[in-house]
Structure 1
Amino acid sequence: MGNTSSMLTQYDIEEVQEHCNNTFSQQEIVSLYQRFCQLDRNSGGFISADEFLSVPEFAVNPLSQRLFRMIDGLNFKEFVAFLSAFSSRATLQHKVEYIFKVYDSDGNGKVAFSDLLDVLRDLTGQFISEQQRELVLTQVLEEAGYKKDSILVLSDFMKILGNTGLKMEVEVPVD
């Protein structure tokens, strides 16, 4: 599996399936492997952040800089695990963990108001003022039972997002 020019064996497919908690079918894993090989332009067995930028949807994503730290240097198994949060078979817990990692940019397991504000800034750009962002974010936190000085952990994200009907799905085309 290290060399992208080789084909996946049944064992490789099952190993990747197990690694990503069966969020993708075997056919989907084969399709993802083909896409991985296309992205891995130098056939080194890893995808760099620059290679991810060749995906137009990713290149224009306002959170792409935050995602870069999560994806740079992924091998195929890690690539599938990274994408597994977007599977229709992924649990709500898995999806919320993924979102939490996006907000927790320093990886310390905590999200402060400033972290939330940074993401909101990335998402809104110049469309709203800093004062408006702070006001909106303060109101959202208060509605969820938190204050501006609250430090959120994963369980807080689960509490906030757990009842929202969170939809984060991407269909994997199967040949």
Structure 2
Amino acid sequence: MGSASSMLTQYDIEEVEEHCDYLFTQQEIVSLYKRFCQLDRNGKGFISSDEFLSVPEFAMNPLSQRLLKMVDGLNFKDFVAFLSAFSAKATVPQKIELIFKVYDSDGNGKVTFNDIIEVLHDLTGSFMSDKQREEVLNKLLHEAGYTRESSLLMDDFVKVLNHTGMRMEMEVPID
């Protein structure tokens, strides 16, 4: 899988399939590889921030700058592993783990009140005031048994989000 212009072998496909915990079929992996090669315009074998931003849906995402920290420089195997959280087969805890990483922008393994406020600001922009965001978050944390001084670890995050009925899926078109 060295350069993006090379073809995937059956061994490569099986290796990627295992790396992403079998959340994508072999056909889906081949389709994702084609998309990866389209994004990797220079054939370097990884995708840069600028190349990710060439995807309109990604560039328009209010969390794109946070996501860029997670995806800049991904090779194909890690690209598929990143996308696996969006698979219909991914478990809620797997999806929440990705969300946790988005909120934990400094990578210290915990999410604070201010981390959540920053994401809410990114998501709501001028549609909500700082005061409204703080009120909503205080209420949510209180209902979940936390305070604004709490630092949420991954298990806490799972506890808070596990019962939301969240949907976070993508469909991989099969060529």
| TM bucket normalised to smaller | over 0.9
Task: Give a deviation string over 1:30-53, Cα, whole Å, max 9, x none.
Answer: 000000000000000000011001
Contact 1:46 1:73 in 2 (8 A): yes
**Aligned residue pair count:** 175
Equivalence for 1:46: 46
Within 2, Cα distance between the matches of 1:103 and 1:83? 17
Equivalence for 1:6: 6
Matched to 1:88, the amino acid is A
Contact 1:46 1:76 in 2 (8 A): yes
Equivalence for 1:114: 114
Within 2, Cα distance between the matches of 1:50 and 1:35? 15
Partner SS, residue 37 of structure 1 = helix
Contact 1:2 1:75 in 2 (8 A): no
Equivalence for 2:156: 156
Equivalence for 1:30: 30
Matched to 2:161, the amino acid is L
Partner SS, residue 148 of structure 1 = coil
Aligned CA-pair RMSD: 0.6
Q: What's the CA shift for 1:93? A: 1.5
Contact 1:23 1:89 in 2 (8 A): yes
Equivalence for 2:101: 101
Within 1, Cα distance between the matches of 2:52 and 2:171? 18
Matched to 2:26, the amino acid is Q
The TM-score with structure 2 as length reference comes to: 0.98
Matched to 1:122, the amino acid is D
Q: What's the CA shift for 1:59? A: 0.4
Contact 1:96 1:161 in 2 (8 A): yes
Q: What's the CA shift for 1:164? A: 1.7
Equivalence for 1:59: 59
Q: Percent identity?
A: 70
Task: Give a deviation string over 1:99-134, Cα, whole Å, max 9, x none.
Answer: 100000000001000000000000011111111111
Q: Which runs of 5+ in 2 are unaligned?
A: none
Q: Which stretch of structure 1 is more off in the superposition, 87-96 or 65-74?
A: 87-96
Partner SS, residue 108 of structure 2 = coil
Within 1, Cα distance between the matches of 2:85 and 2:2? 23
Partner SS, residue 23 of structure 1 = coil
Q: Which runs of 4+ in 1 moved over 4 A?
A: none
Within 2, Cα distance between the matches of 1:50 and 1:67? 13
